[in-house]
Amino acid sequence: MQDSKIVGIYLAAGKSSRMGENKLLLPLENTTLGSLALNTALTTNLDHIVVVTKEEDPLDWLDYIFFTSLFVKRWTHVTCAEAKEGQAYSLRRGLQEVNAMKAEAALVFLADQPFVTARIMNNLIARYRTILNEGRERDFVAASFEGIVRPPILFSRNMFPALEKLEGDMGARKLIRKSFIGNGDTIEYEDERAFFDIDTREEYEQVKEGIPYK
C-alpha cells in the first residue's frame, strides 16, 4: 500500500464575488494570492495536483515558475463548465481527473486559503498511508482547528461517489460534518493562520498588514 497514489485537487474556480475582482491575481508575499497554496502543495508528498478553474480563466494569476521544467509536469489544469453553479461542481470535475489517474485518494485544498502549510498536508498524507499499511479503513483524514474540520481534507476513493453527489456550494467538509465524522481521522492544529481564507477586501488588507486574524 505504500505506493498508493494520492493526488491533490486545487479548487480555484470561485467567482470572487465578495472581493469584486479576481482575488487569485492579487499580490501577496512576492507572488499572487492564488499561487501561494499551489506552490506549497508542490513541495509536499502529493504525487500530482489537479488545478480546477472556470473555463474562461487565462491562468494569469499563476506564477511563471509553475510553467517551468521544475514544476510543469507535476500538475494538470482542467476547467469546469459549471463552476458558476457552486464549488461542488468544481470538486466533481477534479474527481473525474483523479479517477482517471486511478488514485487511491484525493487531497482537497483551496486557492483562497493561501497560508496552508506543507506540514499539514504531509501529516494528512502520512496518517492516511499509515492507516492503509495497518490494514484499516478510513473515509477521510482531515485537518481541524478549534475542533472544526477544515480544508485541506484527504478523501479515500471510497468517498468519491458521495462527493460527486454534492450540489451547489455544499462543500466537502459539510458532508463530513453531517454524515461521515465517525469514519475518518482528524488532526487538530493550533495555527490559525494556516486556515485563514481570504474572501473580502478587508480580509486581504488584514493579511497584507499583518493584523491578527479574527
- Predicted pLDDT at 46: 99
Q: Band of the pLDDT at 15, cuts 50, 70, 90?
A: confident
Sketch the domain layout of the chain as residue ranges: 6-208
| Higher-scoring residue by pLDDT: 190, 179 | 190
Burial letters 36-55, b for 16+ CB under 10 A, else e: bbbbbbbebebbbbbbbbbe
pLDDT exceeds cutoff 70 at 171: no
* Maximum alpha-carbon separation in the chain: 48
pLDDT digits (tens, 9 = 90+) for 66-94: 999 999 999 999 999 999 988 999 999 99
Measured in degrees and rounded to the nearest 5, phi and psi for residue 45 equal -90, 15
Mean pLDDT for all residues in the chain: 90
Cα–Cα distances in Å, from 132 out to 3, 141, 160?
10, 12, 17
What CATH number matches the domain at 6-208, 2.40.40.20, 3.90.550.10, 3.30.70.100, 3.90.1150.10?
3.90.550.10
Say what percent of the chain tops pLDDT 70: 89
Q: What is the CA radius of gyration of the chain?
A: 16
pTM over 0.75: yes
